[in-house]
């Protein structure tokens, strides 16, 4: 093409041609999508005994009467300190997944190291129908459905009852009244309609909502009519903290009916599970 | 929702709140407790000592700072903000001495600190100071004073007050146990401050730091043994009181 100034420009053709190149591109796109899906897949790795029981049962499900899920470091710390502290719990599995915030181990079979964010399952030795799950890793929104389907899909629905303990920052609690310091941390509850019986704390008021793993589990239980109750603890501390963990104590009432618990706990044991960030943080004096 | 009214502190919300200032008051609650008591002849500031990391020099973690020979203060909240405020106050104390040839009055320096804090609630691009402070001392005419300032820049005189983490509990204790006639005795004034702190401090006397100033004397920080003596005396008095209660 000649321009006003006498130079010659080469012009690119804007004609679209049906090329084989397009097909390759599509295949490549598909391949990339598939790779990402595989990478983001949620895998549950059970220990050999449990894997065997799953195989032996015809429906690939475990018999479970109570599933307790703890989401968040304080909920997990509470279970570690008050429930899992006796010797009668066995680690029976973990969930291996990858997302931008949760880079799980590249090999699924390796169990997560203690202290690492992870999703661990424990079963009581004397009462193997009681299962505890501690989830401290971040599960992305696109993985929540998979997680719930795979975990709850492994358990028989009949006779199953679920309890979820979850942490949340109090800054996300919406209320018209001003919350004085002494009120925090506090518990709020939500139940599926199949759940009979009283919750041990006031129900979560509108317009507050649940998000993330607790919401996914509760929704699943609501749809499949599994009795489920959730206790959400609103706290103003961002790290694991013994006072926040103690707020979950009302849940012990339900748990003590299922398994034998340590009667009283010294404050030192509790503090062991709470990260002592106070000493390191010189931000506030 | 508060969200859109707390981005710039110069903006009022429709119901008259300055949310950044109120959030700054939440930052104060993250600091450990400080209590101040004004006696007739002595002023006392007691603070909850923070646990320091093993390798940290605990002399550098000071909550009580002298501003001049006749005034000292304790703060609760963001450490770095406190350092700035204390430095400016110290400079002002000396500037006042040079200009007027007199030491500052406690009210003057409190007003100076509060004015700085208020200025930061009305400038754009700046956030308020995240500290509250208890300022105590004696004026040159010998009157003792205790003032409290907060992030909004207000200040008030108090007979006894507390700031920081469990301030509400400590203030309620002070309201119940403050007796005007006890303030004549230095020992009773000091004991009231220690008793108030013991309500909220974990593991007793070794987590308490106390500073006192008697009229015409400079500030004195009590050593651990002296504090333990007071704590033992307080515990004995408590036991006696409970024995009396059981008898009646």
Q: Pick the closest to residue B45 from B76, B79, B10, B13 (CA basis).
A: B76
What whole-number distance in Å separates Cα of residue B162 and Cα of residue B150?
12
Cβ-defined contact of A278 to B50 (cutoff 8 Å):
yes
The pLDDT score that the predictor gives to residue B37 is 97
Distance in angstroms (rounded) separating the CA atoms of residues B35 and B164: 9
Residue A207 in contact with partner chain B when CB distance is under 8 A: no
A49 token code pair = 């005994």
pLDDT score of B146: 97
pLDDT at A26: 76
* Residue B62 pLDDT: 87
Q: Could you give the CA distance from residue B130 to residue A284 in angstroms, rounded to a whole number? A: 9
Chain center to CA of A59: 25
Q: Chain B: nearest CA to A168, how far in angstroms?
A: 18
Nearest to B127 by CA among B20, B3, B29: B20
Does B82 touch chain A if contact means CB atoms closer than 8 Å? yes
Query: What pLDDT is stored for residue B1 in this prediction?
Result: 43
Residue-wise pLDDT tens digits, B147-181: 999 999 999 999 999 999 889 999 999 999 999 99
**Residue ranges of chain A with per-residue pLDDT less than 70:** 17-25, 104-110, 115, 180-182, 261-280
pLDDT at A20 (0 to 100): 58
Residue A253's CB: how many other CB atoms inside 10 A? 9
Nearest by Cα to A231 from A186, A187, A198, A169: A187
- B213: cis peptide before it, omega within 30°? no
CB contact under 8 A, B77 and A181: no
C-alpha torsion sign, points B68, B225, B55, A285? negative
- Minimum mean pLDDT among A100-104, B10-14, B130-134, B153-157: which range? A100-104
Decide: residue A138, CB within 10 A, 0-12 exposed, 13-18 middle, 19+ buried. Answer: middle
**Average pLDDT over chain B, rounded to an integer:** 91
B151 CB near a chain A CB, below 8 Å? no
**Cα A221 from chain centroid?**
15
The 10s digit of each residue's pLDDT in A136-152 is 888 998 899 999 999 99
Looking up tokens 């090999």, which residue turns up?
A107
A118–chain B nearest CA distance, Å: 28
């Amino acid at each position: 093409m000649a321009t006003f100034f006498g130079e010659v420009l080469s012009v690119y053709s804007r004609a679209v041609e049906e090329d084989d190149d397009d097909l390759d591109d599509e295949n490549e796109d598909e391949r990339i999508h598939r790779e990402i899906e595989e990478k983001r897949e949620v895998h549950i790795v059970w220990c050999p005994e449990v894997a065997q029981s799953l195989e032996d049962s015809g429906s690939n499900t475990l018999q479970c009467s109570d599933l307790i899920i703890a989401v968040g470091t304080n909920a997990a710390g509470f279970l570690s300190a008050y429930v899992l502290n006796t010797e009668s719990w066995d680690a029976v599995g973990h969930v291996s997944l990858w997302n931008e915030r949760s880079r799980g181990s590249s090999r699924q079979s390796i169990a997560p190291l203690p202290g690492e964010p992870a999703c661990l399952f424990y079963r009581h030795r004397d009462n193997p129908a009681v299962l505890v799950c501690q989830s401290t890793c971040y599960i992305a929104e696109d993985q929540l459905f998979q997680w719930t389907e795979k975990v709850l899909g492994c358990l028989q629905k009949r006779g199953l009852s679920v309890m979820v303990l979850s942490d949340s920052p109090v800054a996300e609690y919406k209320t018209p009244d001003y919350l004085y310091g002494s009120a925090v941390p506090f518990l709020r509850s939500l139940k599926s309609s199949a759940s009979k019986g009283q919750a041990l704390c006031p129900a979560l008021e509108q317009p507050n909502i649940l998000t993330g793993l607790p919401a996914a589990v509760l929704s699943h239980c609501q749809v499949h009519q599994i009795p489920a109750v959730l206790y959400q603890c609103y706290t103003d501390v961002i790290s694991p903290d013994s006072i926040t963990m103690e707020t979950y104590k009302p849940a012990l009432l339900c748990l003590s009916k299922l398994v034998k618990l340590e009667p009283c706990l010294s404050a030192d044991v509790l503090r062991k599970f709470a990260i002592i960030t106070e000493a390191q943080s010189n931000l506030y004096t | 929702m508060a969200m859109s009214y707390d981005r710039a502190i110069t903006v009022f919300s429709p119901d008259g709140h300055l949310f950044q200032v109120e959030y700054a008051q939440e930052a104060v609650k993250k600091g450990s407790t400080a209590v101040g008591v004004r006696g007739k002849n002595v002023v006392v500031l007691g603070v909850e000592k923070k646990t320091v990391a093993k390798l940290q020099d605990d002399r550098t973690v000071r909550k009580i700072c002298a501003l001049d020979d006749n005034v000292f203060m304790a703060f609760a909240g963001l450490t770095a903000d406190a350092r700035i405020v204390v430095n400016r106050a110290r400079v002002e104390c000396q500037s006042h001495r040079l200009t007027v040839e007199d030491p500052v009055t406690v009210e003057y320096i409190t007003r100076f600190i509060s004015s700085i804090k208020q200025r930061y609630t009305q400038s754009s691009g700046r956030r308020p100071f995240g500290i509250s402070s208890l300022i105590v001392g004696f004026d040159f005419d010998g009157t003792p004073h205790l003032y409290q300032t907060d992030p909004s820049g207000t200040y008030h005189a108090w007979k006894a007050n507390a700031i920081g983490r469990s301030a509400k509990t400590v203030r309620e204790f002070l309201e119940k146990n403050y007796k005007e006639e006890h303030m004549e005795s230095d020992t009773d004034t000091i004991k009231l401050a220690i008793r108030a702190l013991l309500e909220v401090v974990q593991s007793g006397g070794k987590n308490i730091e106390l500073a006192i100033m008697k009229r015409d004397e400079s500030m004195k920080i009590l050593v651990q043994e002296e504090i333990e003596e007071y704590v033992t005396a307080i515990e004995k008095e408590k036991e006696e009181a409970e024995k009396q209660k059981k008898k009646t």
